[in-house]
Amino acid sequence: MNSTAFNLTSKVAVITGGASGIGLAIAKRFAAHGAAIEILDLQQAALDAAVNELRAAGHSAHGESCDVSEPASVNTAFERILTRHERLHILVNNAGIAHVGNALNTTPEDFARVQRVNVNGVAHCTQAALRHMTAKGGGVILNLASTVAQMAIWDRFAYATSKGAVLAMTYSIAKDFLDHGIRCNAIMPGRIHTPFVDGFIAKNYPGREEEMFEKLSKTQPIGRMGEPDEVATAALFLCSDEASFITGAAYPVDGGTLTLR
């Protein structure tokens, strides 16, 4: 039975990069509150596993293999989604990639690759959703930005640039489509414990995994990394009717990193 609060029953939610990590946590949370889930992801095996897991739990779920950096791939995915549903109510732009490097040692190719996924990907999916939402009475768009959109950390030149753009896009979309009944907000996660973090530590600090995990955890004032479910909880609120008076906002889910470090 769905909770009365934050009820997403009869709503359709598209979640990009929803096959793992934060995206999968959001998909599970939305599904538990009644939403029909549509996952866009490039990793087919993970996509199939996520959809099967949601269906096994009794939820409505489908997946589309999609490269968000390619407009044609995005448009095809949204067209297929709209053959299954009359309405698209929620878009969560979660898909993204990371990169380690500063302004001197980041290659032009790596810089462009990060922007293609993290910036162009958000734009492509947002445009596809807006074409539908503006014609069907509105909707909600939630973008996953990052604390690095508002603060500096070492060696995140390309990534920070991309997340700053995502935050700016959030404000622009919220302003331009206010009269269409469309809300657009952003979440700015701090360091969240996902498989990506474990892989990053294993690759860059072999043999020092436990030490580096503890060190990275303690860089946040609250003394630990966040969990994907904690980001999903914030996402559920911002995409629900309980947040109907909130648009053009950026919410930190960061253990105090932006304000207390």
Q: Active site residue: 159, 171, 205, 251, which one?
A: 159
Give the DSSP per-residue string, 58-92.
Answer: T--EEEEE--TT-HHHHHHHHHHHHHH-S---EEE
What amino acid is encoded at 73 in this protein? S
What are the C-alpha distances in Å from 88 to residues 66, 82, 114, 165?
17, 8, 27, 25
Give the chain's end-to-end CA distance (angstroms, integer): 41
Q: How far apart are CA 228 and CA 166, in angstroms?
A: 20
Coil/strand/helix, residue 132: helix
Q: How far apart are CA 22 and CA 28, in angstroms?
A: 10
The tokens for 60 are 């409505």
Q: How far apart are CA 187 and CA 147, in angstroms?
A: 9
The reply to whether 159 belongs to the active site is yes
Active site residues: 159
